[in-house]
């Protein structure tokens, strides 16, 4: 028996009486493999004989024989075999699949790539480029982004390239090269919008509500076509969002309209006259009047057949909405010791905030009390609830972020000089309103390691009175104020030279982590 000179190769034992007697030795130079054989002629005969036998065996026997053969080799030989097998095992399946009539599988595989990887794939070879082009994979990538990202969806609608998406291959749609060139333009638009938000660049439009008696716009909601506002003068005004003209005035409340929400069918309003009214969106007809609260209805929310209202009378009413004309009281929630200023809810929780400095959490299904969130030093004027996050604004001039499941305060944002009257957030930002507006980085606020200087992105100062209500999306903020105006802050359509009609100053806000 001859033992391989690799000391670490315990399995490598080379028998001199095998068909392949091989001996390896270490030298100062590279490892050299030599074979002890009588002559070249005998080796060739032996090799051909072994191959002939090998070819006669079944595939299973061949595999077993090769495994045993490999087990008798040393590490150096394994390396050579690995180098030999690697290119044999590699397959250009993207090129091979179309050759088998399976173009759709190759397209489906490449359709999961992001933009950077798709660019690289186009450069692999002409066949890959053909699969990407004929499969319209840049179009599919853009469609995927539009389906999953509201910013992409909004841009597709506003820039009107959505008409080239989600259509089958017809003569009406452009070639793949159009979508390839469109993608970087979309990325540039997104980067510009984000920069406008950070730098406060915006175009400003102003609606003068021209109330005759008492001035002030207490609440609003908007969509792409209209803005609906509730005014201190007891009216509801509907505005054309493009022309900013007043389309309709709804009257019927005998007190200020303090809160509203609408969908495609109805507008629901709450008033200081203690009533809740339901209006038909298109005609403005009053469909229902709910008389329950003893004092002003300060806020309301409705969704999926459920409505929650709250009042200065310290109570919360939970209503079942079978239809606009069939609304019945399910439960009254009592527990706050002062006016309940705001409510929000989802399928799991109802959340309420009060002048008693507390936020209370209730079960949506059972209407039972769950927990109280304590921390604000004065009454709470506004909040929004989504997923696990509650964001609240208070008369103590602070904004607090809460985890609703455990009741912990995650962050305190300080900087507003007056009562924070309104607040909204999305996945990226918090927008707040007091005597001025503030735009905050939500992700930074949720990161305990984020420094104070990164939290406030911009201060917005345009209203001459207190900001009562606001709503925003990826492209704009719409706010209403005691100054009897509605402002539209447009972060998309900013003049090319960067000198927009409005540019709000920067201010550094600080935070206190609790």
Domain CATH code at residue 242: 2.130.10.10
Do 319 and 184 lie in one domain? The reply is no
Do 194 and 248 lie in one domain? The reply is no
One digit per residue, the tens of pLDDT, for the chain of length 514 reads 444 443 344 444 343 344 444 333 333 334 444 455 555 668 888 888 999 999 999 999 999 999 999 999 999 999 999 998 888 887 787 888 887 888 889 889 899 999 999 999 999 999 999 999 989 999 999 999 999 999 999 999 988 888 889 887 666 788 899 999 999 999 999 999 999 998 889 999 999 998 878 899 999 999 999 999 999 999 999 999 999 999 999 999 999 999 999 999 999 999 999 999 999 999 999 999 999 999 999 999 999 999 999 999 999 999 999 999 999 999 999 999 999 999 999 999 999 999 999 999 999 999 999 999 999 999 999 999 999 999 999 999 999 999 999 999 999 999 898 999 999 999 999 999 998 899 999 999 999 999 877 898 988 889 989 999 999 999 999 999 999 999 999 999 887 654 444 445 433 333 333 3
* Both structure tokens of 179: 């979508």
In a domain, 398, yes or no: yes
Do 277 and 347 lie in one domain? The reply is yes
Find residue 374's DSSP bridge partners.
Answer: 358
Rounded Cα distance between 41 and 45, Å, is 6
Strands (E), 164-222: 201-208, 217-222
Do 276 and 148 lie in one domain? The reply is no
**Which has the closest alpha carbon to 442: 452, 457, 429?**
429
Which pLDDT value is given to residue 100? 80
Which pLDDT value is given to residue 170? 65
Which pLDDT value is given to residue 443? 94
The Cβ of residue 338 has, within 10 Å, a number of other Cβ atoms equal to 14
Which pLDDT value is given to residue 214? 85
In a domain, 507, yes or no: no
Do 105 and 249 lie in one domain? The reply is no
In a domain, 498, yes or no: no
Do 185 and 217 lie in one domain? The reply is no
Single pTM value for the model: 0.78
Report how far Cα 72 is from the mean position of its chain's Cα atoms: 57
In a domain, 477, yes or no: yes
Q: How many domains does the chain have?
A: 2
Residue found by looking up tokens 């191959």 in the block: 51
In a domain, 128, yes or no: yes
SS (H, E, C) 272-296: CCCEEEEEECCCCCEEEEEECCCCC
Which pLDDT value is given to residue 207? 95
Which pLDDT value is given to residue 91? 77
Do 408 and 459 lie in one domain? The reply is yes
Do 112 and 246 lie in one domain? The reply is no
In a domain, 66, yes or no: no
The string over 390-410, giving b where at least 16 C-beta atoms fall within 10 Å of a residue's C-beta and e elsewhere, is bbbbbbbbbbbbbebeebebb
Do 129 and 222 lie in one domain? The reply is no
The string over 483-501, giving b where at least 16 C-beta atoms fall within 10 Å of a residue's C-beta and e elsewhere, is bbbbbbbbbbebeeeeebe
**Which distant-in-sequence residues (6+ apart) come within 8 Å of 51 by Cβ?**
none
Do 180 and 218 lie in one domain? The reply is no
Rounded Cα distance between 277 and 258, Å, is 12
In a domain, 9, yes or no: no
Do 313 and 340 lie in one domain? The reply is yes
Angle at 420 between CA 415 and CA 421, to 5 degrees: 160
What domain range includes position 321?
200-490
Which pLDDT value is given to residue 496? 66
Rounded Cα distance between 4 and 21, Å, is 12
Rounded Cα distance between 9 and 241, Å, is 80
- Which helix (H) or strand (E) segment holds residue 146: the answer is helix 137-148
Do residues 446 and 500 touch, judged by C-beta distance below 8 A?
no
């Amino acid at each position: 028996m001859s033992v391989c000179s690799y000391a670490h190769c315990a399995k490598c034992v080379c028998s001199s009486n095998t068909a392949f007697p091989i001996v390896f030795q270490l030298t100062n130079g590279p490892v050299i493999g030599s074979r002890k054989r009588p002559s070249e002629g005998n080796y060739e005969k032996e090799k051909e004989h072994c191959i002939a036998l090998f070819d006669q065996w079944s595939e299973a026997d061949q595999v077993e024989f090769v495994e045993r053969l490999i087990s008798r080799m040393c590490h150096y030989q394994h390396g050579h075999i690995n180098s030999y097998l690697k290119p044999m095992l590699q397959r250009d399946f993207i090129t091979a699949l179309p050759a088998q009539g399976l173009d759709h599988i190759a397209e489906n595989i490449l359709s999961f790539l992001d933009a950077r990887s798709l660019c690289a794939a186009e450069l692999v070879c002409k066949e890959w480029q053909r699969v990407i082009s004929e499969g319209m994979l840049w179009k599919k990538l853009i469609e995927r982004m539009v389906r999953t990202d509201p910013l992409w969806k909004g841009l597709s609608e506003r820039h009107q390239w959505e008409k080239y998406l989600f259509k089958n291959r017809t003569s009406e749609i452009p070639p793949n090269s159009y979508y390839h060139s469109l993608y970087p333009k979309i990325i540039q638009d997104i980067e510009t919008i984000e920069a406008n938000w950070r730098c406060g660049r915006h175009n400003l439009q102003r609606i003068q509500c021209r109330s005759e008696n008492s001035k002030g716009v207490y609440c609003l909601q908007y969509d792409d076509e209209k803005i609906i506002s509730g005014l201190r003068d007891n009216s509801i005004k509907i505005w054309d969002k493009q022309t900013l003209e007043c389309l309709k005035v709804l009257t019927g409340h005998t007190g200020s309209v303090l809160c509203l929400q609408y969908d495609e069918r109805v507008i629901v309003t709450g008033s200081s006259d203690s009533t809740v009214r339901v209006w038909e969106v298109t005609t403005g007809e009053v469909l229902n009047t709910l008389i329950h609260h003893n004092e002003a209805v300060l806020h309301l929310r409705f969704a999926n057949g459920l409505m929650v209202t709250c009042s200065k009378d310290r109570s919360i009413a939970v209503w079942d909405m079978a239809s606009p004309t069939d609304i019945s009281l399910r439960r009254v929630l009592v527990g706050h010791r002062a006016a309940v200023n705001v409510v929000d809810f989802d399928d799991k929780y109802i959340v309420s905030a009060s002048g008693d400095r507390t936020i209370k959490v209730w079960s949506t299904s059972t209407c039972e009390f769950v927990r109280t969130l304590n921390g604000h030093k004065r009454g709470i004027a506004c909040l929004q609830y989504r997923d696990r996050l509650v964001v609240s604004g208070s008369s103590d001039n602070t904004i607090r972020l809460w985890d609703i499941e455990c009741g912990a305060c995650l962050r305190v944002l300080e900087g507003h000089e007056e009562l924070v009257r309104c607040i909204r957030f999305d996945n990226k930002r918090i927008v707040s309103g007091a005597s001025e507006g503030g735009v905050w980085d939500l992700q930074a606020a949720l990161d305990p390691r984020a420094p104070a200087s990164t939290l406030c992105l911009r201060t917005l100062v345009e209203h001459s009175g207190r900001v009562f209500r606001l709503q925003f999306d990826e492209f704009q903020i719409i706010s209403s104020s005691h100054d009897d105006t509605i402002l539209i802050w447009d972060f998309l359509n900013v003049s090319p030279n960067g000198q927009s009609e409005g540019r709000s100053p920067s201010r550094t806000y600080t935070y206190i982590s609790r």
